[in-house]
A and B are shown apart, each in its own frame.
Chain A
């Protein structure tokens, strides 16, 4: 056990160290969050500035008659599920591959982890060059392979836009799971592998019966964390599709963003934010409970 500084004369010192952090959290997180709740009870629309003022729960009443709101909840649920499951499965396979010893492993690791460092905006730029109707790689490849005869507008078509956007985000999300699962795999003692070999376990048995159960905690926590981040994801959707066509990619967070940025309806946008807040609170509660955070000296 490390020596900890005992409380005594200098017990103001830790608070001094934490003061700047507290300032940033209070000024730019806590206070803005409080005002979101305040604005959600206000009529505050830049296009109808004369109506500004307290309206009680009016915004929430409107919300429950808003088809787009309910649709955005469904899109959010679908988005989070598709993203997290695909990223987790693919990331896990990749981690298992990269956990083996082979020549040039370091370089392979570095390359397949690249998307981790690429922003949502850049990801959408890269993929828009692939999906583009006229100059895109995808149409050209599919035509050369004889699968497609006419160019498709992957992002303009209501049937394909969700899948196309989802693939771009999966591309960006795989490394997160691959990295965290790989880290956990490397914490598994090597003699466990030897024991498996001695007992004659096949590779698949070793993965499913020995390794995966040991990764359970890591997988649950990273999955929850990623679910929250995917729920909050706007950069990529905003730049790739803007939520369209006809709200096919409008998640709750995207709807909220458009309401503030494009429509300037802050009151209604804040009501959406309050709903999002409670969804996130639920996630956070589950996460904290499962991770055992907040227990004595976690």
Chain B
């Protein structure tokens, strides 16, 4: 009996130890970035590396926000993400609805195409898309980035949305139509309110994806006033003497909105994926 108890205890200790190792591995980079962002630059570059700031300062944040232009980058990223979300949500509701509620010719082919878009890397299409927007005179336009982000992120979200729409019984729309609503009216007044949690999830995914987009912003935008956060951060590294304090502060500024949104969606992430995002 005691051997069995011992085994159980060993199992518990092993479990806790393993979980601890994962937590440390995941949190260490985030911790180090936070700590660095609150150190004065003399402490960051001193030979004695400190694991906790000796002097606690907000100077890096203030300088990143004002002098290094992170307030502008933040605004630009916000613009791209907000408009990207609007486009992505509208497209995925339309596409998801059509793919779940209608029976029509070419439906499976369309599903297949949506799925295949997940295999195409942005890096492959950078040059041709660059040329398209150059011809449209839309380089240095944040709206061009909205269009590109929408293209790369609505297909996955449409497949998700198809699942959300499928989870709602069609009879409620039918009832509204019998009561004299048009098809579109039924969608607007009956389906959309019930679909809110699904829409919120997709909006959060879309926001995170657009907020994080780097390659196209890097390629399309050359004007300082139009840069986005990821590109602004990257440019900070390109300078001759890197200001690590500002880099860390900038990284924290860029990551906070995504982590807040992520905490909000992560609960239904597990549920949403199990109901068929990976496998239609």
Contacts and interface: CB of A to CB of B under 8 A. Distances in A.
Contacts of B11: 203
Contacts of B254: 122
Contacts of B113: 25
Interface range on chain B (Cβ under 8 Å from partner): 35 or more
A279 to B, nearest CB: 10
Contact of A25 (B151, B183, B258): B151
Given A29-B151, A284-B116, A17 B97 contact: yes
- Among A10, A180, A183, max chain B CB count under 10 A is at A183
A184 B274 contact: yes
A246 interface: no
Contact of A256 (B28, B102, B124, B271): B124
A179 interface: yes
A171 B119 contact: no
Interface stretch (B54-62, B168-176, B193-201): B168-176
A293 B280 contact: yes
B247 A257 contact: no
A94 interface: yes
Contacts of B270: 109, 179, 182-183, 186
Interface stretch (B66-74, B78-86, B210-218): B210-218
A117 B256 CA distance: 10
A174 B21 CA distance: 13
Nearest to A168: B29
Contact of B251 (A126, A134, A171, A182): A126
Interface in B241-280: 244, 247-248, 250-251, 254-255, 258-259, 261-263, 266-267, 269-271, 273-274, 278-280
B104 interface: yes
Interface residues on A, range: 35 or more
Given A126-B33, A235-B215, A298 B25 contact: no
A192 interface: no
B129 A111 contact: no
Interface string A244-285: 000000000100110011000010011001001100100110
A33 B113 CA distance: 14
A214 interface: no
Given A257-B126, A293-B111, A135 B120 contact: no
A282 to B, nearest CB: 10
A18 B95 contact: yes
A184 B51 CA distance: 39
A14 B98 CA distance: 5
Nearest to A276: B124
Nearest to B103: A4
B274 A127 contact: no
Nearest to B97: A17
A27 B125 CA distance: 12
A298 B279 CA distance: 9
A21 to B, nearest CB: 4
A288 B112 contact: yes
Contact of B28 (A130, A221, A231, A239): A130
Closest 6 pairs (CB-CB, A-B): A119-B212, A232-B121, A183-B274, A32-B128, A17-B98, A140-B49
Given A109-B266, A238-B215, 15 more contacts: A4-B170, A28-B125, A111-B27, A119-B258, A121-B212, A121-B230, A122-B230, A135-B45, A135-B49, A179-B269, A183-B274, A184-B274, A232-B123, A257-B123, A297-B108
